[in-house]
Chain A
Amino acid sequence: MSDLVVLALKLLFLALLWLFVLFVGNVIRTDMFGRKFATNEVGELQPVAELKKQKRRGTRPAKKVPSTLRITRGKQEGLTLPLGEGIKIGRAADCQLVLDDDYVSTRHAQIVRTDNGYVVEDLGSTNGTYVNNERISVSTPFGTADTLRIGRTLMVVEK
């Protein structure tokens, strides 16, 4: 190859390398603020695109899942609360379910809706989260047949 071609290829490579870096910068820029979602009245997140999809398909999946949490034992016995897309349980002010229980951590556990119903996840609590008296470490399904225990409080999910 002639020297000129070699030089051109060398500079072309460096130019493409920096172009790659600029593309990386652009990805960072577009990723910086995520995408904004409107929240509907119930406080659940619904991206506009998925709202449209749900309208097309109807809202059957949402109706099928039992979605009310009821406290069956503990100081707040009898309290019910809709689960919606999921709730966080703990003693911190930003938890949707603030338990009055000495054995509950600040951010104790969370219940998240998945495609196959609700699951419980422990958020690194001190005294653990128990589903059917077994301490959980990973996301565990939480249906009508299960009992969730956090500290001294028992919870079930109902229709």
Chain B
Amino acid sequence: MGEVVVFRKRRGVELVMLIMGMGLAVAGYALVSLNVDGELPGDFYWGVGLYVAIGLAAHVVIRLRAPYADPLLFPLVYTLNGFGLAMIYRLDLGGSKRMHSAELQLTWTAISVAVFIAVLFLLKDHRKLQRFPYLMFLAGMAILMMPLLPVIGFENHGARIWIKLGPYSFQPAELAKIVLTVAFASYLVEKKDVLALAGARFLGIDLPRPRDLGPIIVMWLSSLAVLIFQKDLGTSLLFFGLFVMMLYVATERPSWPILGTLLFLGGAFVGWLTYGHVQTRVSAWLNPFANWDQNYQIIQGQFGMAWGGLFGTGWGLGRPNLTPLAKNDFIAAALGEELGVAGLMAIIVIYGVIVMRGLRTALTAREPFSKLLAAGLSFVFALQVFAIIGGVTRLLPLTGLTTPFVSQGGSSLVANYAMIALLLVVTHRVRRPRTAAEEPQQSLAHDTTQVIAVPSRAAQPRPEPTFGDTPLSADDPLPDQQDAEPTAAIPAPGGADEPTTALPTGTGAGAGAGADEPTTALPTGADPNEPTTALPTRSAPGDDRPLWRQP
């Protein structure tokens, strides 16, 4: 008797956490209304009812489609989404005239959860995505570079990371991060052994071989292109960091992240020397107060968070509207102002837990693709949160990335929900009990397993396989088949002259020479010296493709 560890389903836990999280978000919404207007809005119960119904619908689908999925991921992202809705509603109220972006955001939440449900229903096995690494890579790069196109791409607040189709604008980087993560994961599954080969040794670190530097150079140049032409450090950092980190996960060689960091710092330094807009960003980061007009947004964000202090002003009682774009880039500053450091830290901890659950899935996963995919998705999520909250709090130069699940914006919400759905599919498959199938060697040495002595093939006909009606048996050398074609089965010594078309394979000479030999079960191809009558190939005469390559 041994012991094996199996994960529980834990859907009940998920429901409890979801209800708690939704309760917090609804409490935030109610507090905003009470603190600003002194009463609940007329459509309060409608809004709350919709929000709760969407969350419960997604929970039911997880129960049905991915019962072993991680119990924390969905409740946490839905709680963040609720905080985002409450804060957007609060910013709607705070302006000089009432706006309605919270309603729009709730609509986008419904659409995103519909996409989330669709991914859970359509994608039974994430390993299907493994098939086309290069196509996925090209598609991902095309999506990423879309904002550079002349008509649809446009520049907004200094960064060219948007495309506009009719009335809708969209940040393609959000979608590209999923596609490229899948592409990198499937590529690295194939290439990790080669990329792990050590080259020269320098300062105690095995450097990669120079010939293996191609992929990282390609990614470096693309990330520099994003930095220079799209003028966005965050997006550039996101994709290069993602690739370097996945290289590290795949190869387990510390030389890759060291090399990647050096390359990125070098590229960013050259960009800083050469391009004015990079210098503007850096000066806004290091000395925002030197130029009040240019850095108005970041300065207002700083004042807001300072005003909030440790416990914040309370929902609806601060003045986050003074910061331009508080609903998008600076929603973290708005939350920091009204919930204080205590609230913002709790939100960052929630982000951290989402990332941690993803990385834990990667650790639990057994196949390399699931491992790399889970690690890549969680890391790109972590990097995005780090880049935007780091930018708002002036740890890093400010970037135009969205705060996942919290900030206003449909494309970001849809893409992030799709990403969480993909991660849930991975966690479901990873945490599913595998029973004996995945446990170490135990059956072959066991006494219920036995090797049955196979009689000498020359002496006795091969035991007839019980293939039933499978197509393979059609060409088996069954006795009745040989009776039906006596010319093939009992050839004359001059068999080469006989018509041998009845034989399934082999050349005429080979068939004539081999037909009177005992049959063999080995599918040795169309070797004329071998007996070919027992070959189970279904190929046409003269077609010498081996069995295992047939479609």
Known: A27-B71, A96-B444. A135 touches B551 (CB 8 A): yes
B443 on the A face (CB < 8 A)? yes
Q: Is the CB of B443 within 8 A of A23?
A: no
CB-CB contacts below 8 Å: A1-19 with B: 1, 6-7, 9-11, 13-14, 16-18
Residue ID in chain A nearest B20 by CB atoms: A20
Nearest residue (CB) in B for A113 is B435
B548, A152: Cβ atoms closer than 8 Å: yes
* B-contact bits for A143-159, CB 8 A (1 contact / 0 none): 01111010110101010
A24 to B343 Cα, complex, angstroms: 16
Instruction: Please indicate the chain A residues that have their CB under 8 angstroms from the CB of B127 in the complex.
Output: 122, 124
B466 engages A43 (CB within 8 Å)? no
Q: Residues of A within 8 Å of B, CB-based: how many? A: 79
Given contacts A35-B7, A158-B466, A20 and B79 within 8 Å (CB-CB)? yes
- Let me know if B440 is at the binding interface, CB within 8 A: yes
Tell me whether B1 and A40 are in contact (CB under 8 A): yes
Chain B 2-46 residues near chain A, CB threshold 8 A: 2-8, 10, 13, 17, 20-21, 23-24, 27-28, 31, 34-35, 38
Instruction: Tell whether, in the assembled complex, residue A85 and residue B435 are in contact, meaning their CB atoms are under 8 Å apart.
Output: yes
Q: Compute how far the CA of A41 lies from the CA of B443 in the bound complex, rounded to whole angstroms.
A: 11
Compute how far the CA of A121 lies from the CA of B124 in the bound complex, rounded to whole angstroms.
12
Task: Please give, as numbers and ranges, the residues of chain A lying within 8 Å of B340 by CB-CB distance.
Answer: 14
A61 at interface (Cβ–Cβ under 8 A)? Answer: no
Name the CB-closest residue of B to A107: B367
Question: Among the listed A34, A80, A98, which residue makes an inter-chain contact with B450, where contact means beta carbons less than 8 Å apart?
Answer: A80
User: Is B349 an interface position by the 8 A CB rule?
Assistant: yes
Least CB separation from B13: chain A residue? A27
Of A1, A20, A158, the residue contacting B38 (CB under 8 A) is: A1
Q: Which parts of B22-79 form the interface with A (CB within 8 Å)?
A: 23-24, 27-28, 31, 34-35, 38, 71-72, 76, 79
Contacts of A21 in B (CB 8 A): 346, 349-350, 353
Assess the A78–B367 pair: CB atoms within 8 A: no
Q: Which of B7, B315, B368, B470 has the most CB of A within 10 A?
A: B470
Q: Cα distance A20–B124 when bound, in Å?
A: 32
Find residues 326-343 in chain B having any chain A CB closer than 8 Å to their own CB.
339-340, 342-343
B275 on the interface (CB 8 Å rule)? no
A46-72 contact mask (Cβ, 8 Å, vs B): 1 or 0:
010000000000000000000000001
Query: Which chain B residue shows the least CB distance to A16?
Result: B24
Contact A10 B312 (CB under 8 A): yes
Interface centre among B4, B20, B548 (most CB of A within 10 A): B548
- The residue in B317, B367, B435, B438 that gathers the most chain A C-beta atoms within 10 A of its C-beta is B435
* Cα separation A144 to B17 with both chains bound (whole Å): 45
Map CB proximity to A onto B118-146 as digits: 1 under 8 Å, 0 otherwise.
00000011011011000000000000000
Measured in the bound complex, the distance between the Cα atoms of B450 and A98 in whole Å is 14
Contacts of B446 in A (CB 8 A): 42-43
A133 touches B550 (CB 8 A): yes
Given the known interface contacts A10-B315, A14-B340, A17-B346, the answer about A147 and B467 at a Cβ–Cβ threshold of 8 Å is yes
Do residues B5 and A20 form an inter-chain contact, with CB atoms below 8 A?
A: no
A110 to B112, CA, bound (A): 35
Interface mask (B422-462 → A, CB under 8 Å = 1, otherwise 0): 00000000000111111111111010111111100000000
Q: Are B436 and A36 in contact (CB under 8 A)?
A: no
The answer, yes or no, to whether B218 is at the interface (CB within 8 Å) is no
Q: How far is the CB of A16 from chain B (nearest CB, A)?
A: 6
A45 and B450: CB pair below 8 A?
no
Closest to B440 in A: A94
Report the bound CA distance from A116 to B60 in whole Å. 24
Residue of B nearest to A123 (CB): B367
A78, B437: Cα distance in complex, Å: 22
Contact among A10, A47, A138 with B314 in the assembled complex (CB-CB below 8 Å): A10
Q: Please, how many angstroms separate the alpha-carbon atoms of A10 and B131 in the complex?
A: 52
Assess whether B3 is in contact with A34, with CB atoms less than 8 Å apart.
no
Rounded to whole Å, the gap between the CB of A141 and the closest CB of chain B is: 14
A85 touching B436 by the CB < 8 A rule?
yes
> CB within 8 Å of B: which of A25-39?
27-28, 31, 33-39
B 349-365 binary contact with A (CB < 8 Å = 1; else 0): 11001001100000000
CB of B259 closer than 8 Å to a CB of A:
no
Interface check A88, CB cutoff 8 A = yes
Interface residues of B in 216-250 (CB under 8 A from A): none
Q: Mark A72-108, 1 if CB is under 8 A from B, else 0.
A: 1100111111101111100001111110000100010
Decide if B548 touches A13 in the complex (CB within 8 Å): no
Q: B24: which A residues are within 8 A, CB to CB?
A: 13, 16-17, 20
Interface check B523, CB cutoff 8 A: yes
Q: Which residues of A contact B466 (CB under 8 A)?
A: 72, 144, 156, 158
For B449, list chain A residues within 8 Å (CB).
Answer: 80-82
Q: Are A43 and B442 in contact (CB under 8 A)?
A: yes
- A45, A113, A123: which has the most chain B beta carbons within 10 Å? A45
Partner of B10, one of A31, A47, A78: A31
- Chain A nearest CB from B523 CB (Å) reads 6
Flag if B6 contacts A37 (CB, 8 Å): yes
> Of A28, A78, A139, which one neighbours B451 at CB under 8 angstroms?
A78
Measured between alpha carbons, how far is A145 from B465 in the docked complex, in Å? 11
**Cβ of B52 to closest chain A Cβ, rounded Å:** 16
- 3 closest pairs, A vs B, by CB? A86-B437, A72-B465, A85-B435
18 contacts between A and B (CB under 8 A): A20-B17, A23-B17, A23-B20, A27-B72, A31-B10, A36-B6, A37-B3, A37-B5, A41-B1, A45-B433, A84-B436, A85-B435, A86-B435, A87-B436, A112-B437, A124-B127, A145-B468, A154-B472
